[in-house]
Copies of this chain bind each other. A is one copy, B any other.
Amino acid sequence: MNIREDILKIARQAKMASQELANLSSSTKNKALVRMAESIEKNRERIIEENKKDVNLAKKKELSKALIDRLTLDEKRIRQMSKSLEEIVSIEDPIGKIENIRKRPNGLQIGKMVVPLGVIGIVYEARPNVTIDAAALCLKAGNATILRGGSEAICSNIILADLLKKAGQETGLPSGSIQLIKTTDRRAVTEMLKLNAYIDVIIPRGGEELIRVVMENSTIPVIKHYKGICHIYVDEEADLKMAEEISFNAKVQRPGVCNAMETLLINEKIAAQFLPGMIKRLQEAAVEIRGDEKTCQITRGIKKASEEDWQTEYLDLILSIKVVEGIEEAINHINNYGSHHSDAIITNNYAKSRQFLQKIDSAAVYVNASTRFTDGAEFGLGAEIGISTQKLHARGPMGVNELTSTKFIIWGDGQIRK
C-alpha cells in the first residue's frame, strides 16, 4: 500500500471514530484516560527501552543537546505523563453544554451547543510527551486524533501510542480514536494536509520551518503555535527593583521556552541608572548581552545587536537590549519585531499601563509580571495543548475548551419563515 492510501485509511477511520466519540459519556472518556495513565505507569520500563533507541540514534547523529534533552524519557518524566493524564480526567467535560438560550419573538428557542471539532491532526517535533498530552486533551473534548511526531522520536511515539490505543480499546473507545502515523516519510505530512474532507483542524507545534510547511500546504484549517519573541519594557516610572527581578526571571528561569524574554526595552531616562546592575546580574548568570548603540555606550564591552537580533527567538541565555525614547517607541518596536506572543510593561504609571494593555497586539499582555506565566496551568485553564499565536479560533494558551466548536440548536413548534 502506498503512503497516500495509508494516510487516507487513517483519516477515514478517524472520521468514523469521531462520530461515535462526539456522543460518548464523560465517564467513558474518563475511564479510558485513567486506564491510559495506569498503562503508562505499568509499562515504564518498556517505554524507557524504546526511548533509548531514539536517544542513541539521536546521539549518533549528533543532534543538538536541546533536542536530545526534550527527547529523553526517564522515570520522572514518565510519571509526569501519567500525572498529566490524571489531571485531564479532573477537567470539566465541555461537550454538550448549551449556552445562551434565548427566545425569539416568533417563539423559537435558540441556543448554542458545545460540540467537538471532530478530527484533529497534530504535527509536532521530537517531544514524546506531546503524544500523550495532545491525544488525551483531544479525547477529553470528544475528538479523534491523528498524531504525526518527529522522526527522531518514532520508537517512543510508537510504544506510547500503542499503549493509549490498547487502553482505549479495553475501555470502550471506538477504534480510530487515537492513531499515530508510523511512517517517517515526509510525504505523509503533505498527504495528510490535503484531507480536508476528513480532518477538521491541524495543530502544528514546532519551529519556524514546520509551521511554514504546514501553512503553505494545508487545505485544512490550522491553529498555529509559533515562536515567542517576548519583550519587557521598563518604563521610567517603574519600580526598578521589581523591574530587575521580573527581567531576570523572564530571561533566566527557563530560557529554552517560548514565553522567556528575548528583548529588554528600557526608557532612556533611567537606562544609565538601571542597565549596569541589571546587565551585571545577567552576565553573572551566564547571559550573553547584545545591545543597541546606547546600551553599548552605557555598559562597555557588550556585543552590538544587529537588525536580525530584534527578530530572533534565542531560546537560550542570550538577551538583546534596546534603549527607547518612551512608551510609543516601545509599543512600535514590540508590535513590529515581536511574534505577538507575550509582552510586559513594568510601570507605576496608571495611564501608561492602560496604554500598553490596549495597544500591544499580542496573545498575552502583562503589567508588572514576568512573561513566563503564559501557560495553561498558570492561567488556570488546566492542561494545555499549546499556545496559539494566531487570532482565529483560539489565542494564547489552549486548553480543552479551545478544542471544541458549537452548533446552533433550535426548538420550534411549527414556525415557518414569512
Residues of A participating in the B interface, judged by any CB pair closer than 8 Å: 19, 22-23, 96, 102, 104, 108, 110, 113, 115, 117-118, 196, 200-201, 215-216, 219, 221-223, 239, 242, 245-246, 248-250, 253-254, 335, 353, 357-359, 361-370, 372-374, 378-380, 390-393, 395-397, 405-417
Check A380 against B215 for contact (C-beta < 8 Å).
Answer: no
Shortest CB distance A31–B (Å): 21
| Chain B residues within an 8 Å CB radius of A374 | 408
Looking at the assembled complex, report how far the CB atom of A353 sits from the nearest CB atom of chain B, in whole angstroms: 8
**Which of B215, B248, B335, B392 meets A392, CB within 8 Å?**
B392
A362 to B362, alpha carbons, bound, how many Å? 33
A116: nearest residue on chain B (CB-CB)? B391
Give A113 to B365 CA distance when docked, in angstroms.
10
Q: Which residue of B lies closest to A98 (CB)?
A: B357
A406–B396 Cα gap in the complex (Å)? 9
CB neighbours of A222 from chain B (8 A)? 221
A139 and B179 CA atoms in complex are apart in Å by 43
Find out whether the CB atom of B223 lies under 8 angstroms from the CB atom of A416: no
Q: A23-B358, A393-B393, A414-B239 are in contact. Are A407 and B108 (CB under 8 A)?
A: no
A414 with B242: CB separation less than 8 A: yes
Q: Chain B residues near A221 (CB, 8 Å)?
A: 221-222, 390-393
* Known A364-B408, A395-B406, A407-B363; contact A417-B110, beta-carbon cutoff 8 A: no
A19 and B360 alpha carbons, distance in the complex (Å):
10
Nearest B-chain residue to A200, judged by Cβ: B391
Neighbouring B residues of A363 by C-beta, 8 Å? 407-408
Inter-chain contacts of A250 with B (CB < 8 A): 416
B380–A417 CB distance below 8 A: no
Out of B196, B200, B242, B367, name the residue touching A411 (CB < 8 Å). B367
Contact yes or no, A359 B23, CB < 8 A: yes
* Contact A361 B239, beta carbon cutoff 8 Å: no
Instruction: Find out whether the CB atom of B117 lies under 8 angstroms from the CB atom of A392.
Output: yes
Q: Is the CB of A19 within 8 A of B335?
A: yes
A365 to chain B, nearest CB (A): 5
Closest chain B residue, CB of each to CB of A413: B368
Is B380 within 8 A of A405, CB to CB?
no
A221-B222, A221-B390, A393-B393 given as contacts; is B407 within 8 A of A366 (CB)?
no
Chain B residues with CB under 8 Å of A406's CB are 395-396
Asked if A365 contacts B19 (CB within 8 A), the reply is no
5 A-B residue contacts at CB 8 Å? A23-B358, A246-B414, A254-B417, A369-B410, A393-B393
Q: Tell me whether A414 and B245 are in contact (CB under 8 A).
A: yes
Q: Is the CB of A378 within 8 A of B245?
A: no
In the complex, residue of chain B having the shortest beta-carbon distance to the beta carbon of A362: B407
Whole-angstrom distance between the alpha carbons of A410 and B110 in the complex? 34
Contacts of A249 in B (CB 8 A): 416-417
| A-B contacts besides A96-B358, A215-B219, 20 pairs, CB < 8 Å | A19-B335, A108-B369, A110-B380, A201-B392, A245-B416, A246-B415, A249-B417, A253-B417, A364-B409, A364-B410, A366-B410, A368-B411, A369-B412, A369-B413, A369-B415, A369-B416, A370-B412, A370-B417, A373-B417, A392-B393
Query: Does the CB pair A367–B412 fall under 8 Å?
Result: yes
Residue numbers in B under 8 Å from A335 (CB-CB): 19
On whether the beta carbons of B200 and A392 are closer than 8 Å, the reply is: yes
Interface-central residue, A215, A378, A406, A408, by most chain B CB under 10 Å: A408
A391 touches which of B118, B216, B246, B358 (Cβ 8 Å): B118
Q: How far is the CA of A335 from the CA of B23 in the complex (A)?
A: 14
